[in-house]
Amino acid sequence: MKEHVNMQLPRKLFKTVSLSCFLFFFSLPYALAETQYVTIGTGSITGVYYPTGGAVCHLINEIKDSEKIHCEIKSTPGSIYNLAGIRSGELDLGVVQSDWQYHAYSGTSRYAEQGKFFTLRSLFSVHAEPFTVLARADANVNHFEDLLGKRINIGSPRSGQRATMDMLLDLYGWKLQDFAAVSELNPSEQAKALCDDKVDAIIYVVGHPNSSIKEASGACQTKLVNVSGDKISSLINTRSYYRNAVIPGGMYRGSDQDTTTFGVGATIVTTTLLPEEAAYNLVKAVFENHGLFVQLHPAFQDLNKNGMVSDSLTAPLHPGAVRYYKEAGLMK
Ligand code: GLU
């Protein structure tokens, strides 16, 4: 009997120790897994990229403890800055226009010298961004061509609108000297400049409604200007990253009729450096909460999941995103 008791004790001890060891080693990788911090480059706080980054980060940070991923947004000049920041490693993710996503990945247009951004990866697309021209009502600008000889704000050099405007200047064969004055104000400065009569028109490639156009059209007499004609139609017909766009009449004071223009899609991109698990968790957080996501900004109201995984994406999808899209039945 005595012997029997003595035998039980070491066995129990062995069991307890081995169970603890098992639990310790099993949970070790999880305990040691570092939180993945991701920074998303957006745009001016008066645009739609900034709240877009805010919406994405909000949903990611809901799972920050369970999935060890933490998201932060950075206000930037826009697409061109974001692509450069992602390429240099300063940013992990960015919101970028579909035209500049295309050119960066393909190494064309302004990226011809730098070459292809091979490691660029798409996650999903978001809202449409019409090429938007807002003029003072007294400036006598009724169509894009009327801008010639006027004072215009072409936007800051690393913004998407400036890059797209540069493309249009080439297309129309216009030089900066063909305008009475050209300024490079950022979106948060341009509404005031327009209403203070410092410029006749401002240019913005942006989702609607947005606070910059609301601010200008609310503070002084303005109107949205059509950007259409043969040159624009041929752009839309020959480049996959451009599309027809309409800014609905009545959205802004002074513009009761629909405004016809062309546009791009806003997209969320990253690189192959983002771990697969992080990309998976990130897109999952957005897509599983799609109903909430589309309510986070009025420019998102028409977004549907199928369009978000296919529209405007030139760079290959990140493998972590593909894993989730297949799992969710959004891809074969
Ligand atoms: N499309 C603009 C750009 O790429 C930004 C628009 C926004 O901030 O919503 O610079």
Nearest atom in ligand 1 to 44's CA: 8
The token pair at 203 is 């240019």
pLDDT above 60 (res 3): no
User: Is the shortest distance between the CB of 129 and ligand 1 below 6 Å?
Assistant: yes
pLDDT in tens, 88-99: 999 999 999 999
**Cα distances (angstroms) measured from residue 93 to each of 18, 82, 118, 315:** 44, 8, 15, 13
Q: Does the CB atom of residue 155 touch ligand 1 within 6 A? A: no
pLDDT digits (tens, 9 = 90+) for 21-59: 555 555 555 455 689 999 999 999 999 999 999 999 999
Lowest mean pLDDT among 24-33, 242-251, 266-275: 24-33
- Mean of the pLDDT values across residues 292-302? 96
- Structure confidence by residue, pLDDT tens digits, 8-22: 555 655 566 565 555
Determine the Cα angle at 255 with ends 184 and 132, to 5°.
30
- Ligand 1 within 6 A of 217 CB? no
Contacts of 273 (CB under 8 A, 6+ apart): 89, 92, 119
**What are the tens digits of pLDDT across the range 176-198?**
999 999 999 999 999 999 999 99
pLDDT band for 230, please (50, 70, 90 cuts). Answer: very high
Q: How far is the CA of 22 from the centre of ligand 1 (A)?
A: 51
Closest C-alpha to 81, from 153, 155, 160, 154 = 160
pLDDT for 2 equals 45
- Mutational test site, ligand 1, from 45, 206, 215, max ligand atoms within 8 Å of CB: 206
Q: Is the pLDDT of residue 200 over 60?
A: yes
Kindly report the pTM of this predicted structure. Answer: 0.90
Domains of the chain, each with CATH number or no CATH: 36-128+265-327 (3.40.190.10), 129-264 (3.40.190.10)
Task: Tell me what the mean pLDDT of segment 144-167 comes to.
Answer: 97
The closest residue, in CA terms, to atom 6 on ligand 1 is 206
| Alpha-carbon gap, residue 67 to 275, rounded angstroms | 13
